[in-house]
Amino acid sequence: MFLEINNLTKKYEDKYAIKDISFSLDKGKFLCLLGPSGSGKSTILHSIGGFIKYEGDIILDGENLNKLSPEDRNVSTVFQSFGLFPHKSVKDNVSYGLKFHQKNLTKKQKENEVYSIIEKVGLKGYENKYPDELSGGEKQRVALARSLVIKPSLLLMDEPLSSLDRKLRESMQKEIRNIQKEFNITTVFVTHDQKEAFVMADEIIILKDGKISAMGKSDNLYNNPKNKFTLDFLGDKNIIGDFYVRPENIKIGNSGEEFVVKDMIFYGEVIELHIENANHKLKALILNRNLDIKIGDKVKAEYQLEKIS
Ligand code: ADP
């Protein structure tokens, strides 16, 4: 495996921030560390980057990184705050990293690298602008370009999109993913946003209280949650005893159990129906398509309950 993490543990005084975290990742894959605030995501990322001391082993491309300083690890990090130099132009911000890496390149080669990477992140023409002339999304691209220009073996990203508004955030998610695929760069990305993880990741690790709660591919984690925390954290659900059903898996139609519609919440493309009968209160999610249902109507619903494991 390209990246191997074995028994990674970090303790602050007598409290574990993370404990016995082990996982591995193939080259070129995009991994999301997903979990609520305080679950240990940043601690894992900062350990890999070498910014904090830890116990356990971090092995990248066959090399144990434990004893290496952040500068000596072939790892680049994009932080939430971008970390750009305000008095340097886009070009100089991006080329800064090359001062310490890729020392064997000539000045001209370095300049070519910088211009090429600026173009790849969609900032051609912005080379001589300064950070305060850029939007949040553009600053994020500069930070990404600066990380990529040194051609790291591993890219770390710590909630890099959290300061952007929703629309920009959604388009940056896809762009970062495309750039990651184009560079085939192995990436570990921290987020607390389930949808962001679904859009971006090849693999997801769900963290809870400093431990791995579940890991796998998005659809498998969502469709076959291995525990209640994963079920809870990824999307909505109805729970009936030891069983559950996702709202979108309740089929409203001409057959099944009879319910009364108690409430309807409009989300645009979908509508959440709150339906109730003597036995159950359920949430169902239906597409907003030729909908002929209103509050107080009787509807029929078909659904299959899955066991919570
Ligand atoms: P996340 O990134 O998921 O929000 P963190 O990795 O930042 O979580 O934190 C994990 C746990 O470690 C939390 O309980 C947090 O309070 C604790 N922690 C993180 N950094 C420190 C620190 N410098 N000193 C003491 N406790 C810390």
Instruction: Dump pLDDT digits (tens) for 234-247.
Output: 989 999 989 999 99
What pLDDT digit, counting tens, does each position of 213-227 carry? Answer: 999 999 999 999 989
Q: How far apart are CA 25 and CA 202, in angstroms?
A: 10
**Is the CB–ligand 1 distance for residue 37 below 6 Å?**
yes
- pLDDT of 126 > 90? The answer is yes
Beta bridge partners, 8, equal 21
- pLDDT given for residue 103 in this prediction: 67
Three-state DSSP state, 98: helix
Measured between alpha carbons, how far is 210 from 207 in angstroms, rounded to an integer? Answer: 6
Tens digit of pLDDT for each residue in 166-189? 888 898 899 899 999 999 999 999
- Ligand 1 centre to CA of 44 (Å) is 10
Could you identify the atom of ligand 1 that is nearest to the CA of residue 13? 25
Residue 41 Cβ contacting ligand 1 at under 6 Å: yes
| DSSP of 140-156 | HHHHHHHHHTT--SEEE
Closest CA to 188 of 7, 16, 8, 23: 23
For residue 191 the two structure tokens come to: 């987020």
How many whole angstroms separate alpha carbon 176 and alpha carbon 140?
10
Q: How many CB atoms sit inside 10 A of residue 221's CB?
A: 27
In the reported structure, the alpha carbon of residue 40 is separated from the centroid of ligand 1 by a whole-number distance in angstroms of: 6
Q: What are the percentages of helix, strand and coil residues in the chain, rounded to 5? A: 30, 35, 40
How much is the CA Rg of the chain, to the nearest whole Å?
Answer: 23
- pLDDT, greater one: 57 or 151: 57
DSSP label of 249: G
Q: Ligand 1 centre from 17 Cα, in Å? A: 6
* Residue predicted with more confidence, 259 or 235: 259
Q: Which DSSP string do the residues of 201-240 spell out, in sequence order?
A: -SEEEEEETTEEEEEE-HHHHHHS-SSHHHHHHSS--EEE
Q: What is the average pLDDT score of the chain?
A: 93
**Chain segment 20-74, per-residue pLDDT in tens:** 999 999 999 999 999 999 999 999 999 999 999 999 999 999 999 999 999 899 9
Ligand 1 centroid distance, CA of 70 (Å):
19
For ligand 1, atom 12, the nearest C-alpha belongs to 17
pTM of the model: 0.91
Task: Write down the pLDDT at residue 290.
Answer: 74
Q: Which atom of ligand 1 is nearest to the CA of 16?
A: 12
pLDDT band for position 102 (cuts 50, 70, 90): low
From atom 15 of ligand 1, which residue's Cα is the shortest distance away? Answer: 38
Q: Is 47 in the pocket of ligand 1 (CB under 6 A)?
A: no
